[in-house]
Amino acid sequence: MKKIFFKNIILIIAIAGMFYACRKKDVYPVEPEIKFENFLTIYNYGQSYPERGVLVFSFTDGDGDIGLFQYDTIPPYDYNLFISYFEIQNGDTIEVFLTQTDPSTGDVDTLNFNGRIPILTPLSSNKSISGEVEDTLFIHDPTSPFDTIMFKAYIVDRALHHSNTITTPLIVR
């Protein structure tokens, strides 16, 4: 009885191993690729305009080297998600560089929407990865008289491969 049970266990393990070995592995190019999925606007309670929005995009990468470690802070490894902000001004699409003035010094700093995607490299031998990223952005600019905006975005992996650039639809705020 024990001999038959042991043989059945070995047979089940062998069949499971064959199915796992025959499983198709996802293969992607080593350059990351992204695809726009959605842009969701977020309204705060009692406000008639959206203050924030969530950019949603999917990605693939053949060698799985998307992401930065916490200690990666020196360019070119300070950001890996690059986002440009545009306003529709009198029918023209204009890239806008937002600024902030330090009231105590009068120094002007340029703000950006760039972000950091954390390390996503899988531990398995197959490094190809795919997934989805959500990034929350502030979209309300009380200083602008224009109400329609859009964003363009791309990512860069640790080998400094740039992805394609995606563009959001027009966003009325």
19-42 residue pLDDT tens = 555 556 778 999 999 999 999 999
Give 113 or 106, the one with higher predicted confidence.
113
Amino acid at 91: G
In this predicted structure, the answer to whether residue 11 has a pLDDT above a threshold of 80 is no
Q: Tell me, yes or no, whether 3 lies in a domain.
A: no
In this predicted structure, the answer to whether residue 85 has a pLDDT above a threshold of 90 is yes
Q: What percent of the chain has pLDDT over 70?
A: 86
Instruction: Report how far residue 82's alpha carbon sits from residue 90's, in angstroms, rounded to the nearest whole number.
Output: 26
Q: Tell me, yes or no, whether 6 lies in a domain.
A: no
Q: Tell me, yes or no, whether 8 lies in a domain.
A: no
121-158 residue pLDDT tens = 888 888 899 999 999 999 988 889 999 999 999 999 99
Q: Which domain holds residue 89?
A: 26-172
Give 149 or 18, the one with higher predicted confidence.
149
Please name the residues in contact with 77: beta carbons below 8 A apart, sequence gap of 6 or more. Answer: 68, 158
21-46: burial string, b at 16+ Cβ within 10 Å, e else = eeeeeeebeebbbbebeebeeeeeee
Q: Any idea which of 10-14, 88-92, 99-103 has the lowest mean pLDDT?
A: 10-14
Tokens of 17: 């191993």
Split into its structural domains, the chain has a count of 1
When pLDDT is averaged across residues 152-173 and rounded to a whole number, the result is: 96
Q: What is the CATH number of the domain that holds 33?
A: 2.60.40
pTM of the model: 0.81
Q: Tell me, yes or no, whether 20 lies in a domain.
A: no
In this prediction, residue 23 carries a pLDDT of 54
Q: Tell me, yes or no, whether 53 lies in a domain.
A: yes
| Highest mean pLDDT: which range of 14-23, 45-54, 159-168 | 159-168
Q: Tell me, yes or no, whether 11 lies in a domain.
A: no
40 with 56: CB under 8 angstroms? yes
User: Tokens 């726009």 label which residue?
Assistant: 36
Q: Tell me, yes or no, whether 18 lies in a domain.
A: no
Q: Tell me, yes or no, whether 77 lies in a domain.
A: yes
